[in-house]
Amino acid sequence: MSRGGGRGKFRWWPIALFGVFLIYYYFSNQQEVPLTGRKQLVDISQEQEMALGLQSYRQILSQSRVISQGDVVDTVRAIGLRIAEAAADVDPGFQWEFNVINSEQANAFALPGGKVAVYSGILGVAKNADGLATIMGHEIAHAIARHGAERLAYQKLVQIGSMAASAAVGGMDINTQRAVMGALGVGSQYGVLLPFSRKHETEADYMGLVFLARACFDPIEAPRLWQRMGKLSKGAPEEFMSTHPSHETRIRQFQEWMPMALKIRESYCDSRGNRVLSPTPGVNVRREAERVRM
């Protein structure tokens, strides 16, 4: 089961066991992302994920300066609930909660279960309700698509794969072991985890655009928002080294999706920009998602 090498023996059985586990684990934990239809790997229940999200959310809020009331809070909650309502057909039953954190960070996040927070530092970049809807639609999409649970599953696979690789090179000298494990670490980071994270961001951009268009916000503001974000992000790493697509990539993708988003808005909204209860037949959003190879 092993083959000699110049610097020690490489054990093949840990790799073989990991391969068998990988095949079983992958195909026994498949789910489907709403709207896009992408197959994803999730190995915890929705209830477990929501409990983890609520715990993390409470901890973050307890350590932050939360703005409890005021026009900003009312606006964020109104926009969030409006988008969540527009996503009701794919909402698994989240208890949506929207809070504003007093911070200079130009950021926002969503945790499993519909727990969303917006940092006050991003409001100036959002500039208007449509820009804020772009940000919040993106975060709401992360929660609905279960990206957090999927990320945990892939991190587990990488950890188990690293353990298998460590056992496989255990018979080699220490310098060779370090070199192999270092190369595997770099490979998993740049070849698996970072591209995987960028795929999540692209999927959340797409789904968020659909949601905000359904909620009768103006999708044209989405690429404008990322133009403004780009001006704030000087010295950002190259895309292949980042967890997020570049601003240029996101702007281009939003422009490609714009005809679809405008058709959705026209289908769901009346001439005054109010959402109608029975939208007219619109574009097939899953077909559009498959076209851009989500």
Tokens of 271: 């001439």
Q: Is 59 exposed, middle or buried (0-12, 13-18, 19+ CB in 10 A)?
A: exposed
Q: What is the DSSP string of 197-261?
A: HHHHHHHHHHHHHHHHHHTT--TTHHHHHHHHHHHH-TTPPPGGGSSS--HHHHHHHHHHHHHHH
Query: Residue 119 and residue 43: Cα distance in Å, rounded?
Result: 31
Enumerate the active-site residues.
139
Q: Which of 220, 196, 193, 225 is nearest to 106 (CA)?
A: 225
What region, left, alpha or beta, does residue 110 occupy, with left being phi > 0 and alpha being psi -120 to 50 degrees? beta
Query: Which residue has tokens 């769901």?
Result: 268
Give φ, ψ of 143 to 5 degrees: -65, -45
The answer to whether 293 and 36 are in contact (CB under 8 A) is no
The answer to whether 116 and 99 are in contact (CB under 8 A) is yes
The answer to whether 96 and 81 are in contact (CB under 8 A) is yes
Q: How far from the centroid of its chain's Cα atoms is residue 51's Cα?
A: 19
Q: Which of 142, 133, 138, 134 is nearest to 82 (CA)?
A: 133
